[in-house]
Chains A and B, each alone.
Chain A
Amino acid sequence: AQSVTQLDSQVPVFEEAPVELRCNYSSSVSVYLFWYVQYPNQGLQLLLKYLSGSTLVKGINGFEAEFNKSQTSFHLRKPSVHISDTAEYFCAVSVTAAGKLIFGQGTTLQVKP
């Protein structure tokens, strides 16, 4: 079975500062990795995904994530955040590219002016 742990429930950060949202996963088989963002009262939007190849993945809105197989991590980073990045962020894994997603508990990113 697979599981996902998002190490921080809330991350407060000032505008234009860098941010890292941490995600660790557990799986006995290879997995695909995803980050989704959820704005208030909305569904989930895909930020980026790792399927194979380069371990540094670039996504939308200036976000990127690095897959570290030895540490079973997939941390999300952004060099300079904006107020509009305030949202809930979810890390997810899947055994197949189109199979069921297993989500972490989410991290609330609070960007302060």
Chain B
Amino acid sequence: DAGVTQSPTHLIKTRGQQVTLRCSPKSGHDTVSWYQQALGQGPQFIFQYYEEEERQRGNFPDRFSGHQFPNYSSELNVNALLLGDSALYLCASSLAGQNYGYTFGSGTRLTVV
């Protein structure tokens, strides 16, 4: 049973560029959440997608946007990258209406130079 798959694992971008990160949820899950984890910090919630719509959003600027596809996979897009966007980006999937908790992927390490 495949867990949550994220790609790429590592990425280096230049300030001002745009980046797209991808996530495939665990089989049977229909909800995808994205978190940003800066070095030495706890993860911070970016947004959650369910039924291809953004259901909840954290305190992140509009430069951060997302999408969920009919197969439940998801993308996180970040425009106009800043040095401060360097972080580990974690994707978590879950099944709506169930209390089993999230399954996290291993993350994408984004470095902005």
- Asked whether any CB of chain B lies closer than 8 Å to the CB of A87, the reply is no
Q: How far is the CB of A23 from chain B (nearest CB, A)?
A: 11
Binds B, one of A14-22, A40-48, A68-76, A77-85: A40-48
A43 and B4 contact, CB distance less than 8 A: yes
- Asked whether any CB of chain A lies closer than 8 Å to the CB of B72, the reply is no
B43 and A41 contact, CB distance less than 8 A: no
A102 contact set on B, CB distance < 8 A: 45
Closest residue on chain A to residue B96 by CB atoms: A98
B106 contact set on A, CB distance < 8 A: 41-43
Number of interface residues of A (CB under 8 A): 24
B104 and A44 contact, CB distance less than 8 A: yes
A43 and B42 contact, CB distance less than 8 A: no
- Asked whether any CB of chain A lies closer than 8 Å to the CB of B107, the reply is yes
Question: Which residues of A in the span 55-96 have a Cβ within 8 Å of any Cβ on B?
Answer: 90, 92
Q: How far is the CA of A50 from the CA of B89 in the complex (A)?
A: 26
Q: How far is the CB of B13 from chain A (nearest CB, A)?
A: 20
- Asked whether any CB of chain A lies closer than 8 Å to the CB of B7, the reply is no
A98 and B31 contact, CB distance less than 8 A: yes
23 contacts between A and B (CB under 8 A): A34-B101, A41-B106, A42-B107, A43-B90, A43-B107, A44-B43, A45-B104, A46-B103, A49-B101, A51-B99, A90-B42, A98-B99, A99-B48, A100-B33, A100-B48, A101-B43, A101-B92, A101-B102, A102-B45, A103-B43, A104-B42, A105-B42, A106-B40
- Residues of B at the A interface (CB closer than 8 Å) are 4, 31, 33, 35, 40-45, 48, 56, 58, 90, 92, 94-99, 101-107
